[in-house]
Structure 1
Amino acid sequence: MNHFELFGLTPRFELDASALAETYRLLQAKFHPDRFAAAPQGERLVAVSRAAQINEAYAILKAPVRRAEYLLSLNGHDLRGETRTLQDRAFLMQQMEWREQLDEVRTASDVDAAIDALRREIKDEHQQQMQHVQSQLDQQSWELAADTVRKLKFIEKMLEEIERLEDSLLEL
């Protein structure tokens, strides 16, 4: 049973986040290991396994990039642990520019403004790429969607690096 089936959903990128959360709560209540504390060991082990499966499925389905990656894997395009590099030269150049901007933030006259500007730029790109991947997945353009997910994963890592940099600058 795949994660979508577990939650009674059609395997597609767009989903109702509140319905997903509500189904998660219902499944957790039904299969929480505490409910099986007095049950035989076999039933307890099944409950623990089922609860872990529910938690993993929910974590993947609630995160749009992870959900897109999971949809791709269901359709024969498993990106986890791959070593293939992105071939989009324009995006590779953009990556280098963002890295340079991130390095320059430390010495900016207004560090907060520099961080905010970079974050805004990258979030705008994230939003555009999310629209692309939704359309590509809806059209079952698996290879294009896989490349877009690769871009999104890089973008999310950049946003994490910005947060780490901001946190480190606040500690000074």
Structure 2
Amino acid sequence: MDIQQNYFSFLGLPESYNIDLQALSARYRELQKTLHPDRFAHLSEREKRMSVQYTAYLNEAVTTLKSPLGRAQYLLHLNGIDTISDASVKLEPAFLFEQMELRDDLEDIKAQVSPEKALGLFMDKVTGQLLEYQQAFSDCFDVRDAASLKTATAIVRKMQFMVKLQKEIELVENELD
């Protein structure tokens, strides 16, 4: 085991956007049993420290790869593209306008007679759009040439907006409860 490997190699998974989440979970459980610090309690301080580092790396890898957005960002990172701290990708004005409208719609839902039902339908719409972006990212990333990686980067920015909107929907849902 080597924590210098990328997450996919570390977990023995193919470097792809479309991963088998059950295989990821199974591999996590397998490695967790092997690397857990309790198994190293009777060994040297160095071995205990290494176990803690491996376990932390394992947890970080699994958390990243389980998240469709995190996985996309990580794949781009492996290809030299930073989408986490760099927001230099310009998005179309139509997309940005649509985002403003979606947030206005979310605010309007709070005032409706049956906000819970409307919120559920709104969440379905947002989730559907996010799934379309995920498929589009997968299609672009599979090509991996300069143009497709540029398109994939723009799609990840759109995914970031949609994931943030999902979190806002969840906050409104909590307010309604």
Report the TM range for the smaller structure's normalisation. over 0.9
Q: Find the aligned partners of 1:122 and 1:19 in 2 and give their Cα distance.
A: 27
Query: Structure 1: which 5+ residue stretches go unaligned?
Result: none
Give the aligned residue type for 1:80. Answer: I
Q: 3-state DSSP class of the match of 1:9?
A: coil
Alignment-derived partner of residue 118 in structure 1: 122
Query: Structure 2: which 5+ residue stretches go unaligned?
Result: none
Alignment-derived partner of residue 62 in structure 2: 58
Q: Aligned ranges for residues 18-57 of structure 1 at < 5 Å?
A: 18-57=22-61
Q: What is the identity percentage for the equivalent residue pairs of Structure 1 and Structure 2?
A: 34
Q: What RMSD in Å do the two structures reach over aligned CA positions?
A: 1.1
Alignment-derived partner of residue 75 in structure 2: 71
Is residue 169 of structure 1 aligned with residue 176 of structure 2?
A: yes
Greater CA drift, 110-119 or 82-91: 82-91
Q: Find the aligned partners of 1:24 and 1:112 in 2 and give their Cα distance.
A: 36
TM-score by length of 1: 0.94
Is residue 101 of structure 1 aligned with residue 108 of structure 2?
A: no
Alpha-carbon offset, residue 109 of structure 1: 2.3
Runs in 1 of length 4+ with deviation above 6 angstroms?
none
In the TM superposition, what whole-angstrom CA distance separates every residue of 1:101-156 from its partner, at most 9, and x where no partner exists? Answer: 01111111221222122112111111111110110111112111111111111101
TM-score by length of 2: 0.92
Describe the shift of the 1:102–1:86 C-alpha distance in structure 2 as closer, same or farther (beyond 3 A).
farther
In the TM superposition, what whole-angstrom CA distance separates every residue of 1:3-22 from its partner, at most 9, and x where no partner exists? Answer: 01101122111111111111
Alpha-carbon offset, residue 84 of structure 1: 2.1
Alignment-derived partner of residue 160 in structure 2: 153
Q: Find the aligned partners of 2:20 and 2:106 in 1 and give their Cα distance.
A: 35
Count matched residues.
Answer: 170
Q: Find the aligned partners of 2:89 and 2:151 in 1 and give their Cα distance.
A: 14
Is residue 143 of structure 1 aligned with residue 147 of structure 2?
A: no
